[in-house]
Structure formats: structure tokens, C-alpha cells
Amino acid sequence: MELYYLITISERDRAETLSGIYAAAGTGMTLTKLGRGTATGEQLSDYGLDATQKAIVSTVADGEQTQQIFKAAKRKLFIDIPGNGVMMAIPLKSVAGGSTLGFLTDSTQTGGRPAMDFSHELIIAIMNEGYSDTVMDAARSAGAGGGTVLHAKGTGKDRAEKFFGVRLADEKDVLYIVSHADEKAAIMQAIATLAGPGTRAGAICFSLPISKVAGLREREEA
């Protein structure tokens, strides 16, 4: 069975509709987190996100449910038109236990693999609280568009001091950036160089492949 972790970033007043779309497809659990956008006016045309309050609505779905959710979101929320948010599907390799799989997707069928044609990636950067603009500026210097910021509480301060030589704050900002796959390495390198461990931001970052995405304007090729 193909399994995906679906993430949709949109205006907060659309969260209930998104949860309903997920539920109508038969998914077992929806998580809603609150964040804020970072895109400047210049980047809005590329990423469909602005500096307003955002909802990040996620669920686990199989391949058929994923297709159904994307179709419903395009029909009800026009998610495929830039300016209405971003929906992405991240492939999952496994789920622990048939009962868990049944709860998440209403199915216990196994087997099958997600599509592995990744044109985009989700960059996740974790930094000290209050430095999201610094990290976003670093990412923009390498061609990133907008991002979405969440607030979190971190652990592992002692381990960070051992490996990076700095103590990390308890409070964290988490930054999501959707990038084209061929731009990902440069963006992550810029974050590490300009705002990484050893700087006040203390950012660490990693990326996840995206199998399917809606809501991004196609870039113009030179």
C-alpha cells in the first residue's frame, strides 16, 4: 500500500474545511497546528503564502485517499491555484502495526510503494525562538520563496552543547520551506552557513521528499 503524510498550509479559516476533506476520504486522524507565513509580497506569486496566520493541517492517507483529497481540495478550496495555500504529499515507508494502519487509513492492506519522482522537497529548519526571520533571510539568499513558522519547545540541550559547542534555548521556532528539488541543497547550505550551529539562530535543518504538490506557481525556465 502506498502511504503518504499529507500536509496542507492554508489560511486558518480553511482548517475546518480541510479536516472535513480528510475525513470524507476515510482518514482516521487529522492534526491541526497554528503558524504564520513569512513570504514577502514579491514571493507571494510563487508560493501562494503571505505573512498572515496559517493553519497546518496534516493526516496519513493511502494512495487512493491521497488522490481523493487532492481532487476535493482543488474543487472546494482551489488549492491548485497559487494564493490558496499549498498541499503536499510526503511518502511514508512504514507504519508500526496493522491496527495502527487500520486506524490511520481504514485499511489493513500492505504492500506497494509510493511514487519516487520527487520534483519538490520540504525543508524543515529548527532554530532558537525569535530567529525565524534570520533563517528565512538566509534561505532567501539561496533562492527560497516563502515559508511557514511554527512554535515548539525543544529538548536535547546538553547533547547540542556536546556536538555544536553551544547551548540551545528551550523555546524553538520551526520553519517549513517548500523548494524545488534542485534548489534544496543550496538553500540548506545557506541556512547552515549563515544561521546554523554556532550562530545566535542555532538552526539545524533537514529535508523530506514530496511526491505530489499543489498550490505552487510553475517557475519560469531561463
Residue boundaries of the structural domains of the chain: 3-117, 120-210
Amino acid at 144: A
Measured CA to CA, the distance from residue 33 to residue 54 in angstroms comes to 8
pLDDT band at 198 (very low <50, low <70, confident <90, very high): confident
Q: What pLDDT does 47 receive?
A: 47
- Backbone Cα Rg of the chain: 18
Q: What pLDDT does 146 receive?
A: 85
Q: List the strands of the sheet with 171-180, edge to edge.
A: 204-210, 120-128, 171-180, 148-153, 30-37, 53-62, 3-11, 86-91, 212-214
pLDDT tens for 121-166 read 999 999 988 999 999 999 999 999 889 999 887 655 555 555 555 5
pLDDT tens for 29-62 read 899 998 988 765 554 444 444 457 899 999 999 8
pLDDT higher than 80, residue 74: yes
**Mean pLDDT to the nearest integer, 62-74:** 95
Where does 3-117 sit in CATH, by number?
A: 3.30.70.120
Measured CA to CA, the distance from residue 210 to residue 119 in angstroms comes to 7
Where does 120-210 sit in CATH, by number?
A: 3.30.70.120
